[in-house]
Amino acid sequence: MKPLTSTDPRCLGGIELLGRLGRGGMGVVYAGRTDEDTLVAVKTLHPDGLSRDDLRERFDREATALGMVQGPGTAALLAVSESSDEGPWLALEYVPGLDLATYLDRHDPLDAVAGAALGLVLANALTDIHAAGLLHRDLKPANVMLGPDGPKVVDFGLVAIGGAGGDLTMTDMRLGTPRFMAPEQFTAPTQVTGAADVYALGAVLAYATSKRYPYDGPTPEALGFAVVNPDKAPDLSGVPAPLAPLAGELLAFAPGERPDLADVRARLTERLADAHLSPGAARALLAERTYVPGTGNTDAVPAARRPAPPTRAEPAPGPSVMDTGLAGRTAERLRRAYARPAVA
């Protein structure tokens, strides 16, 4: 955790800010503590973003999407800013530990059992996301936090609400991270469906178990050409043999040739059963292997004030930390604006 700067707020909606967790394209993410000593992550929109409709729309859309998804595989939305004087912010479940990308930079790739457990957790999370009528569009190792209770998918900044193509605001706008983007995200971004998230699941699974990208190149252009070439097979060298066939199917060039998430979950559950593990036991085993204590950016918080993560049913308290108000109005407005059929 980095210390707060002289220009950073010290409190938002009754949440005491402890330090900076990071800074992204939309704003700063802070570690915060509520009046009940619950640790939260607070995402803010940079003041410059208030004058940009695209960034404000993305921020509002993320708030709506997070409020629509329920499941243990995603970080919970706890509150949204109520006061216009503070500017937009979101309070999210705080997930200590490393993200998957950082973990793999420092450790060996996952073996077949841990890889199957990771794949099942992510497939379950995507099932919950798609059931809410959403596309994540940016599933990648950096957006998977390895907490003490297992992995959680975070960062819904590129989420789409609705059916094919979602709510893209710019025709033919490419959204995602190239090494984990499906071919159609390069060639037909307005026609992207849930199959693109399935492809990203395959790319994450392959990388997590081999530390090799399915497609790579010396330049972004070369990488893009490789991904959209139907004759170029993904590099699955190093992926454990029990997982390689499934990874290859998830990375199929044509969206219609990729398995659906129900099939993926069934096959991974069967794979784990062969190792005498239930899904719950596999998740616990994965957390035991991948959670790295002391890396959750809570060093500034006294040990006696490090409670367990909050549940979704109990929003963080505070004078303007509410689960209604702006959060509800934003959600309702965006649901109307982006009302479309469920994700394919």
Residues belonging to the active site: 138
- 198 token code pair: 């399935």
SS3 39: strand
Residue 181: closest CA among 135, 146, 123: 135
Phi, psi of 16 (to 5 degrees): -75, 125
Phi, psi of 91 (to 5 degrees): -105, 120
For the chain, how many residues are written?
344
Q: What secondary structure does DSSP assign to 208-247, as a single string?
A: HHHS--SS--SSHHHHHHHHT-TTS----TTS-TTTHHHH
97 alpha-carbon distance from chain centroid: 15
150 backbone φψ class: left, alpha, beta (φ>0; ψ -120 to 50): left
- Count other Cβ atoms within 10 Å, centred on residue 219: 8
In contact, 35 and 44? CB cutoff 8 Å: no
Dist. CA 199–CA 206, nearest whole Å: 11
Residue 40: closest CA among 294, 303, 316: 316
Dist. CA 283–CA 296, nearest whole Å: 19
